[in-house]
Structure 1
Amino acid sequence: MANEEFKVIAGIDTHADTHHVALITDYGKRLGDRKFLAVGSGYRQIAAYLTRFGPVTAVGIEGTGSYGAELARVLAEHGFIIREMNRPNRAERRLRGRSDPLDAYQAAESVLADRGTSTPKARDGYVEALRVLRTARTSAMKARTALMNQISAVLTAATDEVRAKYRGLSSEARVKAMASSRPTGDPADPVIATLMTLKRLGTRHRFLSEEINETDAALEAIILTYAPELMDVKGVGVVVASQLLVTFGDNPERMNSEAAFAALAGVAAVPASSGKTSRHRLCRGGDRQANSSLCRIVVVRMSTDARTRAYVAKRTEDGLSKKEIIRCLKRYVAREIFHVMKNPRSAPLTNDLRILRLKLGLTQVFVAAALGTWPGTISRIEHGKSQDCEAISRYRAWLEEQAPERN
């Protein structure tokens, strides 16, 4: 019989085949624990078991991004508040050991103490699609890099007759020539065997390149549909945008401040002062892929953006090293990305710009040269794929200025 005098907090230790559930009261008393199968029927049994002793305040789950992903989705659909367990209590494990029941109780106690918990990613929207697509892209990129290393190793040990066929070619041209070659002869001949191997490696490289391009096209289509404003941030491309969206998650409300996002991306300044020394050091935690993406944005801006170049020059005069300047810039970029993600701007309508340009007899190449940008940028503005309000306004004003001159 349910007891209305207390509320229940649950902790779940997840594994590949089973999940162990433990229940405690809101003042720490242990109510019981039980093991369930990690299948659809087991998830439904867990949902029923959670409310056995009373209303449930929250459910702490270990591994909401792996073994507990589906369980977290099912329980969220049943209306339970889900908390993700960031790490086990190591001190508790040293003192009391570890087992599935103990880990489940520790998860529940961590939720009760509000210690080492966070809001899990929803994993039910377009960001989850981006994450899965990026998984395929990452493996293809690693395989292609390994192929290039294998090709270089084979060519290094090959005879001069083989090396001469590909000498002086760029990497892409060399791989293309290998894939289109037609070696014939006795495979027992080392030269023929080498040529056959290079053809197979070149064909595999071409296949992986096509797979990467197709994945990039799918990523771009999703981003332009759901988060086009991110693509208008200077230095952000498809790969960087997809990673930042994956880091942010399907439920951006879990990121309540720019400082939280900076900490998640590993660009928050960490105090490292002692005595008379006052300084900050690099944060070594956070999502390292997001940190790498922010670094790529900074590197692009340092070579192409006038404001960033002026900032680098000023900070260099102040005595900062290049590494320290990049750390500062990554923090500034994290702030900009956070506000773009939390406050997306609606771009003005642009469906009349192409008509106006054609009436004036102007090409996209001519317009791009006049505005100091790329033809692709003009094309994205005309097709409504750009959220850069400043660029759109500038393009419209320029076209309106040309109208009297052409009449």
Structure 2
Amino acid sequence: MTENLLDVSARIFVGVDTHKDTHHVALIDHLGRDLDDREFASTAAGVTELIAWITAAGAVERVGVEGTGSYGSTLATALHNADVEVVDVDRPDRRSRRAQGKSDPVDARSAARAALTGKATTTPKAHDGNVEAIRFLHNARHSCVKSRAEAITQLKSMIVNAPDSIRTELRDLTDAVLLATCRGFAPATHRVLTLDEAVQNALRTIAIRIDSLTTEERDLAKHIEALVAEHAPQLLARFGIGVDTAAQLLITVGDNPDRITTEAAFAHLCGVAPIQASSGRTHRHRLNRGGDRQANRALYIIALVRLRSDERTKRYRDRRLAEGKTPREIMRCLKRAIAREVFGLLAHPQHG
């Protein structure tokens, strides 16, 4: 009996408040009592020192880390490689911060208690595989697409307000011819420009930027397609799932899909599982507005493609319409069914 008590008393729970330059670590025992806290650099050497310190303090039961998708991603990976159980901890809400105050030690102890009580149970994403590579490329491509769209809008807006001679020349051109014409304007050769020269120089600069962003976006898209085809060919083999939607669903799940244990959990992650909203004699469910909205958008796009081109999906829509369902309700049902299908594919990967 004494040995069991000693074993229990030696268990410690760890909380980490992560930042760009430092990580603040707090230790508590199995009863939630504060043991110690300390700050470490967020460098590789600091992470190594952190892991050595907590493992020397006792038997580490669980580590709660804030920000495993940002400042704490490297630490979470290092802890996982050291065979330490890690859970993702949400940052304290405003009500808790008003009651407890805000400091790094307070946040670290709060993370440790979340790991102790089971309030934090989410296994963080791994950031060390093909999906992480896809995520970086995907984010870079998204930035290119957004910047290109803004540049095109800016170019056309400038033409509307340009001097009449320039506006007349460019107003009725197609997009491709417009860009080529603007690129063809002579570059500025002196510092002080006339109005027409300044407008032409501005249009030329933006047109060149649009071409550069287009080239970057296409290059990134090729790399994403190759990685998705290598990592998850089973997704691309399904009707309506393209490279973009497959990439987003992979990013949502991460490099360790086994962290999501049921298709219901995956549906909640994607925001397509209905939420109970019953009270008294009223029994109903409402739309889930949580979850990963980009994953929800990917499921929506898949459903749209299938509604337009897949006969089986069209028959399902017609049957549900005959039953009195609205198009919006049918879309929700389709997204839920697609989430179930995608989870089965991600749970049994078939790398190319």
TM-score between both structures, scaled by the size of structure 2: 0.91
Show CA shifts across 1:37-95 (max 9, x none): 22222212211111233211111111111111111122222221111113326554332
Q: CA deviation at 1:305?
A: 1.3
User: Are 1:139 and 2:143 matched, yes or no?
Assistant: yes
User: Structure 2: any 5+ residue segments left out of the alignment?
Assistant: 1-5
Report what 1:73 is aligned to.
77
Which has the higher mean CA deviation after the structures are superposed, 184-193 or 110-119?
Answer: 184-193
User: Are 1:312 and 2:317 matched, yes or no?
Assistant: yes
Paired letter, 2:107: D
Q: Which has the higher contact order (CA 8 A, sep 6+)?
A: 2
1:284 equivalent among 289, 292, 313: 289
1:114 equivalent among 94, 102, 118: 118
SS of alignment partner, residue 36 of structure 2: strand
Which has the higher mean CA deviation after the structures are superposed, 112-121 or 267-276?
Answer: 267-276
Show CA shifts across 1:349-387 (max 9, x none): xxxxxxxxxxxxxxxxxxxxxxxxxxxxxxxxxxxx8xx
Q: CA deviation at 1:243?
A: 0.8
Which has the higher mean CA deviation after the structures are superposed, 248-257 or 65-74?
Answer: 65-74
Which has more radius of gyration? 1
Query: Number of aligned pairs?
Result: 345
Matches within 5 A, 1:93-104: 93-104=97-108
User: Are 1:208 and 2:207 matched, yes or no?
Assistant: no
SS of alignment partner, residue 116 of structure 1: coil
Paired letter, 2:135: R
User: Are 1:261 and 2:290 matched, yes or no?
Assistant: no
Q: Distance in 1 between matches of 2:170 and 2:341?
A: 46
Q: Distance in 1 between matches of 2:106 and 2:188?
A: 65
Q: Distance in 1 between matches of 2:184 and 2:227?
A: 34
Q: CA deviation at 1:234?
A: 1.5
Q: Distance in 2 between matches of 1:185 and 1:62?
A: 54
Q: CA deviation at 1:5?
A: 4.6
Show CA shifts across 1:274-297 (max 9, x none): 445443222111111111111111
Report what 1:357 is aligned to.
none
2:340 equivalent among 335, 341, 350: 335
User: Structure 1: any 5+ residue segments left out of the alignment?
Assistant: 347-384, 386-407
Matches within 5 A, 1:25-174: 25-88=29-92, 91-174=95-178
What percentage of residue pairs aligned between the two structures are identical?
Answer: 41
SS of alignment partner, residue 9 of structure 1: strand
Q: Distance in 2 between matches of 1:65 and 1:196?
A: 42
Q: CA deviation at 1:242?
A: 0.8
Q: Distance in 2 between matches of 1:158 and 1:95?
A: 57
CA contact (8 A) 1:87 1:116 kept: no
Show CA shifts across 1:233-277 (max 9, x none): 211111111111000100010011111111111111112234454
Report what 2:251 is aligned to.
246
User: Are 1:236 and 2:241 matched, yes or no?
Assistant: yes
Q: Distance in 2 between matches of 1:297 and 1:185?
A: 51
